[in-house]
Amino acid sequence: MMQYGFIHIPKTGGSTLQDIINRNYKKSDLANLKHDGSSTDSISNAKLLKGHVDIRALKQINPDIGLLSCVRSPLSRLVSHYAFICKREHHGNHRQIMDNGYSIIDCVEQKVDTVFDNLLIRYIGGYRDLPFGEIKETHLETAIKNIHEFVWIGVLEDFDNSVLMLQKELDWGKLYYRKRKVNASSKQLISSLNSKEMSLLKSSQSLDQKLYSAILEIHKEKLAANKDYVSRKMRSLQFRNKLFSGIMSWKND
Of the candidates 93, 115, 103, the residue with the CA atom closest to the CA atom of residue 189: 103
Number of neighbouring beta carbons within 10 Å of residue 99:
8
CA angle 18, 171, 28 (to 5 degrees): 50
Please give the chain's pLDDT, 253 residues, in tens.
899 999 999 999 998 999 899 999 999 999 999 988 888 888 999 999 999 999 999 999 999 999 999 999 999 999 999 999 999 999 999 999 999 999 999 999 999 999 999 999 999 999 999 999 999 999 999 999 999 999 999 999 999 999 999 999 999 887 878 776 666 667 778 778 889 999 999 999 999 999 999 999 999 999 999 999 999 999 988 888 888 665 543 333 2
Q: How far apart are CA 151 and CA 102, in angstroms?
A: 39
Of the candidates 15, 52, 21, 22, the residue with the CA atom closest to the CA atom of residue 37: 52
Strands 150-155 and 48-51: unpaired
Strand stretches in the chain, DSSP E: 4-7, 30-32, 48-51, 66-71, 150-155
Q: Do residues 54 and 128 make contact, with C-beta atoms less than 8 angstroms apart?
A: yes
Q: Do residues 132 and 115 make contact, with C-beta atoms less than 8 angstroms apart?
A: no
CA angle 35, 113, 12 (to 5 degrees): 60
**DSSP structural state of residue 107:** H
Under DSSP, is residue 3 helix (H, G, I), strand (E, B) or coil? coil
pTM higher than 0.75 for the full model?
yes
CA distances, 99 to each of 89, 117, 183, 244 (Å): 12, 21, 22, 40
Of the candidates 245, 93, 253, 119, the residue with the CA atom closest to the CA atom of residue 182: 245
